[in-house]
Structure 1
Amino acid sequence: FWRNLETESYTLMSVGLAMIALRTYARIKKLGLNGLQADDYVMLTAIVWYVMTVVGLNGLAQSAGTALAVPGEDVFALSEEVVEARQYGAKITFMAEQGMLNVIWTLKACMLIMYSRLTFAATNHLFVRILSIYTAVGWVACQLTLFLECRPFNSYWQIAPSPDMNCMVYWTFAAVQCTFNISSDLAMLCVPLPMVIGVKVPLRQKMILIVLFSMGIFVIGAAILTKVAFWKDVYDINFMYWYIREASVAVYVSNLPCIWPLIREAVPGVRSFFGGS
């Protein structure tokens, strides 16, 4: 399992980091180094959380386990070495959850900042502002849940006796994170939706908008599948694949609009096919 995860995750991350680098280059080329805007700097911070997520999940996949006890297991009979190894795995789990939460919300912030520049109509601009507040409240709610649902805090990596289920599998956090994550993503899709449906341009020029919209739907789908796999069986570790896919495609969606001009210039035929899009 862990070798397949390692191959897929680092491949997806390499593409994501390359897109962030291309985005930064494209923005500097367009605006100059001193002209970079808030979302450009926020995107650079996403690198830290993105790498933390991928490295953390790979470390978890290769660990000896976490605080989650196997049914029927006598945790008091575990050797000191096994206890320490599983405590390490439990700490990596917390790190990976922090990384995932922050990379997703950092990317949301980037998109909202970009939307705030592009929505000139008063109604749309107000919607983006309200959505920004809602998204910020969601991040705070997730962080409070993550730090308060398991008390005392070090019970997150307590092995014997087994701690409360919230400490072992983050039940409450998963519900709060899922609610705010999916609802804010759905709301964010409503911002460019009128452009996809109503803009009066040839279909070829609409295709890039359709691709972005479809990728946004995939991010939501990945978030749903992650939680479905998790709630169906807390011992099923395949949710890690969907965590990484969700984070990676979110990185792609957030950066593609900024690197699209570079693609049109660099790839023969793209400019003529899509026209001035």
Structure 2
Amino acid sequence: MEDPTLLIHWLFSILTLIIIVVRLVWRKVAKQSFNLGDYLSMAACVCAMTRLGLIHVVLTWGTNNLSAAVRKTHVFTAIDIAHRTTGSKLSIANRVFYNSYLWLQKLVLLDVYRRLILNLRYEKVTIYSFLFVFFCTYAACQVTTFSECTPFRLYWQVLPDPGQCVKAQLQLIVVGVLNIVTDTMLLILPIPIVLTLKTPWQRKLKLYALFTLGIFIIAITCIRLPINANNKDSQISRTTWASIELLTAAIVVNAPTIYGMYNKRAQAKSSSRSQGTGAYDGRGTNNVSIAHRSRAHDDEDNETYSMGRIRKPMEGIIQTKEVIVSEFRDSERRGRGPYSNLPDDVENASSHGSQRGILKD
């Protein structure tokens, strides 16, 4: 693949798909059911794959977006005109799928935050407000995509020059600005949740870093707007920055979920290692200490959004029971009372066992 833009397009698109597939496969490996965010990720995956094919043709065949200087020197053959006409049509179709990909990823992240604020008094108001804003901004982006050129055929007209509308500067600005606004909303939403957490500052810092990754999408959008405006005749510039934004969105949106599943797996392994211990004391006595722990918890969120269940403080009872079992050889018991050989640790076992109820506000 000689064209570096095509190479970047394929590389970033494949990395994007890999990130989404890792999320979905890990979900099934963990034997969890797909949730709403996973199904939205599947739809985003379809959009990314569709864009992959469309942009490959657009970059290979070209479009009708050419500068005046190029038009003066370029020789338009019948095949070239046919290719550029098709490329221009596919470029318009690509904008629909690309906008859909970005807004689907926003919905995936919103689904994560919905789980964090579940059962809080402002949950429904917040979610419905965000959904309304997302719907309006998405509709505005799609309407702008098809409303710059009049008549509509100018979008793919190669000769004569269709004019400035094919450069889609209004569409670029509208999508960019609305993308920044909605990403900023998602960036702010989890901050109050993390602030109210009763957890060590190290964990809070980790969560802040995880939930503020969206600032990179905002930064990329802010950078690409003036660059694409200064290179409005270049499909290469537009495609390259769109590919960067595509991958960044996949990383930002899927990082919390992948981290949550990884953290849950690590906690499960740690718990299984600490369930029981056995030791032989060298005197023919086997002392076995078994710790039984149970925690009342909410099974609604099978994802265990495993950052200390940060959507709300844990409520319930933690029970810890310590049972010490001692076995003695019959030869050691002969001629002695049934309790004369009980070791000190068994006699004091009742003082070690405990049952505590912990309620966190």
> TM-score when scaled to structure 1?
0.83
Do residues 66 (structure 1) and 63 (structure 2) align? yes
Is contact 1:60–1:93 with CA below 8 Å preserved after alignment? yes
Matched residues in 2 for 1:76 and 1:233: separation? 19
Q: 1:98 aligns with which of 96, 99, 112?
A: 96
Unmatched runs of 5 consecutive residues or more in structure 2: 271-305, 309-361
Post-superposition shift, 1:207? 4.8
Q: Which moved more, 1:155-164 or 1:236-245?
A: 236-245
Relative distance call for 1:182 and 1:28 in structure 2 (3 A) is: same
3-state DSSP of counterpart to 2:146: helix
Shift of 1:94: 1.3
Q: Where do 1:171-250 residues align within 5 Å?
A: 171-197=169-195, 199-236=197-234, 237-250=236-249
1:214 and 1:54, CA in 2 relative to 1: closer, same or farther beyond 3 A? farther
Count of residue pairs brought into register by the alignment? 270
Cα distance change on mapping 1:199 and 1:12 into 2, 3 Å: farther
Alpha carbons of structure 1 residues 75 and 116: separation in structure 2 relative to 1, 3 Å: farther
Retained in 2: the 8 A contact 1:27–1:258?
A: no
Q: Deviation digits for residues 223-274 of structure 1, max 9, x if unmatched?
A: 222222111221243232221111111112222222224434778xxx8xxx
Fraction of identical pairs, as percent: 22
Q: How does 1:1-277 map to 2 (within 5 A)?
A: 3-28=3-28, 32-33=32-33, 36-63=34-61, 65-72=62-69, 73-74=71-72, 78-119=76-117, 120-123=119-122, 125-166=124-165, 168-197=166-195, 199-236=197-234, 237-264=236-263
Q: C-alpha distance in 2, partners of 1:3/1:210?
A: 39
Distance apart, 1:203 and its partner CA: 4.5
Matched residue type, 1:213: F
CA distance in 2, matches of 1:147, 1:170: 10
Are the structure 2 counterparts of residues 156 and 85 from structure 1 closer, same or farther at C-alpha, using a change threshold of 3 Å?
same
CA distance in structure 1 between the aligned counterparts of 2:129 and 2:160, rounded to whole angstroms: 45
2: CA distance, partners of 1:82 / 1:16: 32
Letter in 1 for 2:199: V
What do residues 102-123 of structure 1 show as CA deviations (whole Å, max 9, x unaligned)? 1001111212233223214333
Quick one: distance in 2 between partners of 1:214 and 1:57? 30
The match for 2:340 is: none
Q: Distance in 2 between matches of 1:266 and 1:4?
A: 40
SS of aligned partner of 2:246: helix
1:13-57 deviation digits (Å, cap 9, x = unpaired): 333222222222343455744xx3222211101111112223333
Which stretch of the first structure deviates more once superposed, 240-249 or 192-201?
A: 192-201
Deviation of 1:202 after TM superposition, in Å, equals 3.2
3-state SS, counterpart of residue 62 of structure 1: helix
Match for 1:134: what amino acid?
V
Give the CA RMSD over aligned residues.
3.1
**2:67 alignment partner, SS class:** coil
| Structure 1 residue 195 displacement after superposition | 4.1
Kept after mapping to 2: 8 A contact 1:135/1:180:
no
Q: How far off its partner does 1:156 sit?
A: 0.7
- Which has the larger helix fraction? 1
Question: 1:76: how far off?
Answer: 10
Structure 1 pair 173/249, CA: closer, same or farther in 2 (3 Å)? same
Q: Which has the higher strand share?
A: 2
Superposed CA offset, 1:119-175 (max 9, x none): 143335423321210111111111122223323322210011222422x11122222
Contact conserved, 2:10 with 2:52, CA < 8 A, in 1?
yes
Q: Provide closer, same or farther for how the CA distance between residues 208 and 25 of structure 1 changes in structure 2, counting only shifts above 3 A.
A: farther
**Cα gap change, 1:212 to 1:60, in 2 (>3 Å):** farther
Task: Tell me the distance in 1 between the aligned counterparts of 2:179 and 2:41.
Answer: 18
TM-score normalised per structure 2: 0.65
- Are the structure 2 counterparts of residues 18 and 203 from structure 1 closer, same or farther at C-alpha, using a change threshold of 3 Å? farther
Kept in 1: contact 2:102–2:246 (CA 8 A): yes
Looking at both structures, which has the greater relative contact order when contacts are Cα pairs under 8 Å and sequence separation is at least 6?
1
For 2:133 and 2:16, locate their aligned partners in 1 and report how far apart those are by CA, in whole Å: 27
Per mean C-alpha deviation after superposition, the further-off stretch among 105-114 and 17-26 is: 17-26
Distance in 1 (alpha carbons) for counterparts of 2:214 and 2:84: 36
